[in-house]
Amino acid sequence: MSKTASANGDNDDNTDMNIPHYLMWFRRDLRLHDNTALTALCERAQADHARVSAVFFLTPEQWHAHDTSLVQVDHIARTLPILAKALQAQLNITLTVQRCPSFADCIDELSILSQDNNIRCIMANHEYEGNEIDRDEKLAKQLAKDNIEFVRWHDQCILPPQSITTNDGDSMYQVFTPFYKKWRHTLDISSIQMHEATAINNNKTKLKLSKDSATTLQDIEALSNKVVSAYQKSRQKTDLSQHLDMGAQLTKARAAYPAGETAACQRLNDFIADDIDDYDISRDTPSLEATSQLSAYLTIGVISPRLCYLQASLAQEKLHGNDGDNEDINRWISELAWRDFYRHVLVYKPALIRHKAYKEETDKKIDWSYDKDGLEAWCTGKTGVPLVDAAIRSLNATGFMHNRLRMVTAMFLTKDLLIDWRLGERYFMQQLIDGDFASNNGGWQWSASTGTDSAPYFRIMNPFSQGKTHDKDGVFIKTWLPELKDIPASILHSEDKMRKELAKGGKFADIDYPVPMVEHKAARQLAIAEFKKS
Ligand code: FAD
């Protein structure tokens, strides 16, 4: 049964089939500001006197297949009513949200929608993952048969994939530093612009729908909530997530990440006003929460990466004039460049999407472990290594983990336990609110020394010295491992002392916390030997 109530409560269908009708398909770009496809569609509709509608598909089966975390799905669901309201109020466009379990369903649904509504053109922003590319290509072919245009725009990066190539050819840079130099230079000489859509004459336009859809704010909220609840049940059953209190994780993530582009832009403004000028020194101290915490918004496209870059550049200019150079701001901009870099790498090497190692030889030669107990100890924060356990427990509780700790925990899994990086990559995707294939895969392969520009295999982080450097007084550790609150930091940061004091007869033998599950020095030697072999 189709529901056709519009956001203003008007139930009329616009059935004038002579007026061209265009469709904006929202995916990971849930915003009005600087949305390349949306701007282009509105401009074109104005020129052609066309009507415009918008659609978003809730795809639970697909999320499951991609290991999308519950907190991210919930973040999307919370964003949709806000997007719908803003679209209606600012651009006069009605958003339809439709449940379409898999990508195959989306293709069918878009074909039917196009036929039923005389849609002549669909616009969307590119997605760079394999299933998404396959879906778009299949759809493009199907729509072409009916003479319907399907136009996609590059929008996810500050500079689009394939635009930064080596000087001597058309190749992708294999390491970050020269990529970054070229990326910065390209930005310096080009005037990067924001795209702003303008309201269109679109009275009473809404889609005729087939099933399981919502257009009023209330219905959108109800449908999204229903899909999130069902998703929570299905996720809780997955092997690695059974130990989690997903309800508590959801509550924390909701409080930490208010939905919508106004909230995201406010966070960017606050970060630039209050924190960016200490970024370089503070960003590696997890207890300070000194990073922007914008990744959850960037991942689902609630904030534009170009806006982030432009605001940081403006702050640079304000502080230092045109030739301004500020270490902290430069460092933050370089993190945005890492995000672009990993997307560019993914487009350059699509085999990554099938979880192949970037350095293919490591797939053949390294004898990764699949030890269930080791993986479980890591996933539940019970390895006996305080910084690793505190980091994982923070992830399990909130759906977020600090960047330094992502590196420490990933190295511990892949080097100290020699467990296949793909298992950790998967667990992160299942828990992270900012879970993003390109950045996550890039981060994991960096840590496992199998990726582009990855950590050299012999440079293995010692998780105890990492604790001493980045959590000197043990503030972060004690926040997430309250059972260790009475243990002095000097003991927490020493593997030998932890072993001694937690063992029978030791000062802290009564504490319910395991002794370190591996001896770092020995594990490091084993990992190096394994890599040398390859
Ligand atoms: P800030 O320090 O404020 O940085 C600003 C933005 O730059 C971030 O929001 C993010 O979009 C980008 N960024 C920062 N560092 C990196 C980086 N190393 N690689 C790519 N982009 C970066 N980031 C994700 O967005 N999704 C992931 O799934 C993800 N998985 C990771 C897995 C591992 C093993 C590692 C080592 C890193 C991963 N990262 C991932 C990168 C990074 O940890 C997060 O982007 C960062 O912690 C987000 O916090 P923030 O927004 O406060 O970052």
Give pLDDT tens digits for 92-146. 999 999 999 999 999 999 999 999 999 999 999 999 999 999 999 999 999 999 9
% of the chain exceeding 70 in pLDDT: 95
* pLDDT at 209 (0 to 100): 78
**Pocket of ligand 1, candidates 295, 302, 392: which has the most ligand atoms within 8 Å of its Cβ, to mutate?**
295
How large is the average pLDDT for residues 434-457? 94
Residue 237 — pLDDT band, cuts 50, 70, 90? confident
Quote the DSSP letter at residue 67: T
Task: Evaluate: CB of 299 within 6 angstroms of ligand 1.
Answer: yes
Q: Locate all alpha helices (DSSP H) within 100-198, ordered by sequence.
A: 103-117, 130-145, 176-189
Please check the confidence at residue 397 and state whether its pLDDT lies above 90: yes
Which of 69-83, 188-202, 218-232, 472-486 is predicted least confidently?
188-202
| pLDDT higher than 70, residue 148 | yes
pLDDT tier at 2 (50, 70, 90 boundaries)?
very low
Least confident of 102-111, 274-283, 316-325: 316-325
Going by pLDDT thresholds of 50, 70 and 90, the confidence category of residue 16 is low
Q: At CA 302, angle to CA 82 and CA 287, rounded to 5?
A: 110
Instruction: Please check the confidence at residue 333 and state whether its pLDDT lies above 50.
Output: yes
**From 25, 421, 446, 480, the catalytic residue:** 421
Q: What is the pLDDT of residue 8?
A: 39
For 493, phi then psi, to 5°, come to -95, 15
Q: Hey, whose CA ends up nearest to atom 13 of ligand 1?
A: 335
In the predicted model, is pLDDT for residue 12 greater than 50?
no
Strand partners, 213: 98
Whole-number pLDDT of residue 19: 85
Which is catalytic among the residues 149, 221, 335, 376? 335
User: Is the confidence at residue 3, as pLDDT, over 60?
Assistant: no
Residue with token string 């960096």? 446
Six token digits for residue 164: 């930064």
For residues 156 and 109, what is the distance between their CA atoms, to the nearest angstrom?
25
Q: Is the CB of 287 under 6 A from ligand 1?
A: no
Q: How far is CA 346 from CA 167, 180, 349, 437, in A?
A: 20, 16, 5, 9
| Whether residue 173 has pLDDT greater than 50 | yes
Query: Which ligand 1 atom minimizes the distance to the CA of 292?
Result: 3
pLDDT, position 324: 63
Q: What is the spatial distance between Cα 161 and Cα 435, in angstroms, rounded to a whole number? A: 20
338 included as an active-site residue: yes
Query: Is a pLDDT exceeding 70 seen at residue 341?
Result: yes
Q: Return all residues near 365 (Cβ < 8 A) that are at least 6 apart.
A: 533, 534
Over residues 88-94, the mean pLDDT reads 95
Q: What is the pLDDT of residue 210?
A: 72
Q: Of residues 6 and 166, which shows the higher confidence score?
A: 166
Distance CA 337, CA 158 (A): 8
Q: Is the CB of 326 under 6 A from ligand 1?
A: no
pLDDT tens, residue by residue, 402-434: 999 999 999 999 999 999 999 999 999 999 999
pLDDT at 5 over 80: no
Q: pLDDT tens, 68-83? A: 999 999 999 999 999 9
Is the shortest distance between the CB of 125 and ligand 1 below 6 Å?
no
Is residue 49's pLDDT more than 70? Answer: yes
Please check the confidence at residue 13 and state whether its pLDDT lies above 60: no
Say what the pLDDT of residue 11 is: 38
Q: How many angstroms separate the Cα of 17 from the Cα of each of 24, 108, 300, 441, 457?
A: 18, 21, 34, 46, 63
Which pLDDT score, from 0 to 100, does residue 485 have?
97
pLDDT for res 389: 98
The Cα–Cα gap between 135 and 200 comes to 29
The pTM score is 0.95
Ligand 1 lined by 68 (C-beta under 6 Å): no
Query: Biggest alpha carbon distance in the chain?
Result: 86
Predicted confidence band of residue 395 (pLDDT cuts 50, 70, 90) = very high
Q: Is the dihedral of CA 1, 134, 446, 174 positive or negative?
A: negative
Give pLDDT, residue 510: 97
Tens-digit pLDDT profile for residues 488-518: 999 999 999 999 999 999 999 999 999 999 9
Instruction: Spot the catalytic one: 338, 378, 446, 480.
Output: 338
Answer yes or no: is the C-beta of 297 below 6 A from any ligand 1 atom. Answer: no
3-state helix, strand, coil in the chain (%, to 5): 55, 5, 35
The per-residue pLDDT for 247 is: 94
| CA 92 to chain CA mean position, Å | 29
State yes or no: pLDDT of 7 exceeds 80: no
User: Average pLDDT of 429-446?
Assistant: 97
Q: Is the pLDDT of residue 441 over 70?
A: yes
- Active-site residue identified among 25, 378, 444, 446: 444
Section 323-331 average pLDDT: 85
- Whether ligand 1 lies within 6 angstroms of the CB of 309 is answered as no
pLDDT at residue 311 greater than cutoff 60: yes
Average pLDDT over every residue of 213-233: 95
Of 41-50, 279-288, 311-320, the one with minimum mean pLDDT is: 311-320
Kindly give the distance from the C-alpha atom of residue 334 to the centroid of ligand 1, in angstroms, as a whole number. 11
Closest-CA residue, ligand 1 atom 49, reads: 293
As separate numbers, helices (DSSP H) first and strands (DSSP E) second, the chain gives 24, 6
Q: Kindly tell me if the per-residue pLDDT of 240 is higher than 50.
A: yes
- How long, in residues, is the chain? 534
> Is 480 one of the catalytic residues?
no
**Catalytic residue flag (residue 147):** no
| Cα-Cα-Cα-Cα dihedral sign, residues 390, 396, 400, 406 | positive
Q: pLDDT at position 335, please?
A: 98
Q: What is the mean pLDDT of the chain?
A: 93
